[in-house]
Structure 1
Amino acid sequence: MSDVGQVGRTRGGRYGSVYVAVTALLCSLVAVGLLAFAGLQLPRTVERDRALKEAVPCRSVPREPADCLWRQPFTVTAIHLWSGRRGDGIHATLISPGGGKWRTEFRNDGPVLSGLDEGDRVTGTIWRGRLVRISADGAVQVTENSPDALPESIVALLVVCGPSCLVLAVACGWRLRSPKERGWRRGPKLTAALAAGLAGAGLIAALVALKFGLPLWAMSAIWLPLAALASALAIAVGRQTPQERQTVPVQKTAL
């Protein structure tokens, strides 16, 4: 190989190493940030959820935000049942008996909102000055103001991004062991593919759980077999892929 080609390969290896190092650093920061976010927000949200479940009905109309539950009828208007490109989201406007308007957002359109028309009546539950639930015909649906809806979103973010970012950081760190090589060897390449598989498994688990309103533990229950399948597939491919062969330079003998 000529000197020019050797210099180009060395520069390409250096640039690739810098790119991989930056990717590994970003993935590690994202994973650590998610864990820190969950550590700060999840206990607080769970505490609010426990306070809501232990709240008792109010004895009279609360004049300021209170820890008790106040239920009153609302008239439904301005129903929007899909998330538009402009980020409108799923929402409806509820009108109280006194004429006050409550713009209420929802995570999905069921089981109550999808069966309503403008002018229908629902019963709303107010807690700490926020409308947290609506009910009609025996069905109950929580709003985005309810702490019931927040833990699922945090867990979904962790399931989708947490494991995949950690595995991708491992793959990048593995790749950095050979900084002068331009390509990826089998080990780090399969590890990066596993990170993509774990992200896909987390996305599927989050979408299924959020779509059907499953409980908090359902995301992990759905993610675990999918992650095991992705790991088994990566191991199987790794065992079937031949090892990289090292090229031994052939020395020319003088005649």
Structure 2
Amino acid sequence: MSQPSLTGILRSTVATVLTLLAAVAFVAFAVALAVTNVPDGTRDLDAYRAAPRCPAAPPGPAECRWTREFTVSGVRLTSKRGELDTVTLTDADGGRQRTAYTDRGPVIGDLAKGDRVTGTVWRGRLTEVAARGESQDTDAAPDDLRARYLIAGLIMIPPGVLVAAACVWRLGRRTVPNPSRGMVATLGLAVGVFFAGLFSPVVASGAGEDLRVTAAVWLPIAALMAVGARVYTIRGRNLAG
């Protein structure tokens, strides 16, 4: 086996270091995102739940919750991925407001043009609609953002750590011309785990942004990928032997 040239080693080392720095920055960004946002992730949701009813119509955005009647002037239900169902509501003054929903829930799936609904307004946003004894949050309602940022961490941190580990491994063997099967398997696992992270929230979307459900989908997929990477590495060693 021919020995790699000094220039080849240098180029490979520079590329590996740059990839390592990018992976570390990727992980650091995900960690900072979670640390910064998770502690206050329910601040708006708690304020909304604790907000009292407005005694009268507020002159502008207010911390109290104000309810008023609306007439449904349009309903658009879609099955396209990435698009939300929408309902256009008209108030007594003729003002129109377009509301969006993450699911068809107990209310909007049965709405038709001309129906009457009761809307809840908080901080100037229409956060909830109610009809026939049922209520449903709009897309403007405050959420528990903790799960959202923790799911983002689940998507970003494991593959970033795997890429960083493969880079450190490669730097320790920089004089060897080609990466080992273990390094290739680690990088392949990083890519697979990243896409598993993207895929898991989609599968778990019926439960909303639920970290436990998303992790329950992600963990078996990641475990199977890890086993596959291990088998690939061991088989390479056996062939080499």
TM-score between both structures, scaled by the size of structure 1? 0.77
Q: Give 2:56's match in structure 1, choosing from 56, 60, 73.
A: 60
Distance 1:91 1:177, change over 3 A: farther
SS in 2 for 1:119: coil
The alignment covers a number of residue pairs equal to 241
What are the within-5 Å matches in structure 2 for residues 1-255 of structure 1? 7=5, 10-82=6-78, 90-148=85-143, 150-213=145-208, 215-242=210-237, 245=240
**In structure 1, what residue type is equivalent to 2:151?**
A
CA contact (8 A) 2:201 2:209 kept: no
Compute the displacement of 1:33 (Å).
Answer: 0.9
Q: 1:185 to 1:43 in 2, by over 3 A?
A: same
Structure 1 CA distance for aligned equivalents of residues 4 and 210 of structure 2: 58
C-alpha contact (below 8 Å) 1:107/1:149 kept by paired residues: no
Q: 1:239 to 1:91 in 2, by over 3 A?
A: same
Q: Note the C-alpha offset of 1:44.
A: 2.4
Q: 1: CA distance between counterparts of 2:109 and 2:147?
A: 21
Identity %: 34
Aligned AA for 2:196?
A
Larger radius of gyration: 1
The one-letter amino acid of 1:47's match is R
Corresponding letter in the other structure for 2:13: S
Counterparts in 2 of 1:63 and 1:236: CA distance versus 1, 3 Å: same
Distance 1:35 1:199 in 2: 16
Amino acid at match of 1:184: P
* Structure 2: segments with no counterpart, 5+ residues: none
CA distance in 1, matches of 2:34, 2:195: 21
Using the alignment, how far apart are the partners of 1:151 and 1:90 within structure 2? 24
Is the 8 Å Cα contact of residues 14 and 180 (structure 1) preserved in structure 2? no
Deviation, 1:25, is 1.4
Partner Cα separation in structure 2 for residue 203 and residue 179 of structure 1: 32
Pairwise CA distance, 1:191: 1.5
Residue 221 of structure 1 deviates from its aligned partner by 3.1
Gaps of 5+ in 1: 247-255
Aligned-pair CA distance for 1:206? 0.9
CA distance in 1, matches of 2:58, 2:114: 26
8 Å CA contact 2:41, 2:144 repeated in 1? no
Encode CA deviations 1:144-199: one digit per residue, 9 max, x unaligned: 32222644433332222222122222222222222244432122222212212322
- RMSD (Å) for aligned C-alpha atoms: 3.2
Instruction: Name the CA distance, whole Å, in 2 between partners of 1:113 and 1:167.
Output: 44
Matched letter for residue 26 of structure 1: A
